[in-house]
Amino acid sequence: MSRVWVGIDSGKGHHHGLAMEAEGRTLLSRRVANDAPELMKLIGDVLDLADGCEVTWAIDMTGGEPTLLFTGQAVPTSPAVW
């Protein structure tokens, strides 16, 4: 596995995260509540699954709590796209 791609579908009450390896195999698919601890757990689980591989995060919004987590200290070395 060389890279992990993660997409976050944001919602008011919950979000859905999907992580895939570059070859297309799903590593994680999870619905999470719209709160920081749940999002931090998702981030941690993805980074654990990536096992040192580069992770690229994509999120479907440009503001709000999820965006702050993905552009702040939670994933400081991972690129993010919107």
80-81 vs 14-21, strand pairing mode: unpaired
Residue 64, classed as helix, strand or coil, is coil
Q: What is the pLDDT of residue 17?
A: 94
C-alpha 46/C-alpha 67 separation (Å) is 16
Summarize pLDDT for 25-69 with one digit per residue, the tens.
999 999 999 888 888 899 899 999 999 899 988 887 666 665 555
DSSP string, 13-31: SEEEEEEEETTS-EEEEEE
* 3-81 belongs to CATH 3.30.390.50: no
Contact 59, 82 (CB under 8 A): yes
Provide the token pair at 25. Answer: 């195999």
Q: What is the pLDDT of residue 13?
A: 86
C-alpha 33/C-alpha 51 separation (Å) is 25
pTM beyond cutoff 0.95: no
